[in-house]
Amino acid sequence: MSNGGVPEQLYRLAAEFAGDLTRTIQRIIPTDLQFTALAMGNADRASVGVGIFTTGQFTPLPLSINGTHRLNLMIKLHLCWDSGQDFLAVDKSFFHVRAEGRDDTPLFRLEYVRQATRDVPCSHLQIHAHRDELTYLLMVADRARPATRTRRDKIPRVAEFHFPQGGHRFRPCLEDVLHALIVEFGVDAQPNWRSAVEKGREDWRHKQIRAAVRDAPEDAAEVLENMGYVVTRPEAGPAPTNQARMRAY
């Protein structure tokens, strides 16, 4: 059975994805806006676009500071089947932050590309903002923020904005930084730098995956069982999730 040519499973997953995103945003930002999945009827291919879709267009999420609309966050995701055709995977995601009422240039963009090229990281942050725009917003924010981070009588600096980078387990590694410096700035490198970077990155990710499994062993057990592994829990019962690690910024 299909919905307008979209297979039932795809329709359900798309609706769940949009619904989950709506609930996530509405728990964090005071807004009534909802996310909608736009799907094309095609039994052979899953392609879905998810975003705030109003009057036939994708529109950004307005963000206010002290009740005044100051920023716009474009949240848009392109989804496809994962490799097992069981779940919807993010093919591309776009999180673009713009200052309201200013020009089209974003302050910054955080994007993910599943099929990235060799020298563009699949998850990347691009900062566009001129210093003036960011410091203006930081000054506006200071007036709204509690005293703990107030910089009264000091001009805020762009360097004071902390861009989140994936927490304890999913942060970039040193090899990622070196890779960026080599391809973006042309930093001198060894002839075999690429294989060294890739090896180091892989080693890092193995370590981080092991650490992540220790943080959430039941998640690991469930995934393994779904893959056909037989997992035996400890006699004392399933190991707990390290919630502090999982929730750390």
Q: Out of 27, 32, 57, 249, name the contact with another protein by CB under 8 A.
A: 57
Contact status: 81 vs another protein (CB under 8 A): no
| Interactions with another protein, residue window 82-101 (CB under 8 A) | 91-92, 94
Distances (CA, A) of 220 to 141, 168, 248: 40, 17, 19
Q: Out of 9, 31, 58, 116, name the contact with another protein by CB under 8 A.
A: 58
Cβ within 8 Å of residue 74, ≥6 positions away:
51, 58, 59, 60, 61, 94, 95, 96, 98
| Per-residue tokens: 140 | 């506006």
Of 52-60, 136-144, 161-169, 176-184, the window that binds another protein (rule: CB under 8 A) is: 52-60
- Smallest CA-to-CA distance from 72 within 85, 82, 61 is with 61
Size of the site for another protein (CB under 8 A): 43
**Secondary structure element (H or E) that encloses residue 65, with its range:** strand 61-65
Q: Which residue has the tokens 């997992």?
A: 231
Name the burial class of residue 215, with classes exposed (0-12), middle (13-18) and buried (19+) by CB atoms within 10 angstroms of its CB: buried
**Per-residue binder mask for another protein (CB under 8 A), 9-38, x = binder:** --x--xx--xx-xx-----------xxxxx
Closer residue to another protein, CB minimum distance, 128 or 201: 128
Given the rule CB under 8 A, which residues bind another protein? 3-6, 11, 14-15, 18-19, 21-22, 34-42, 45, 47-49, 51, 53, 56-60, 72, 74, 76, 78, 91-92, 94, 103-106, 128
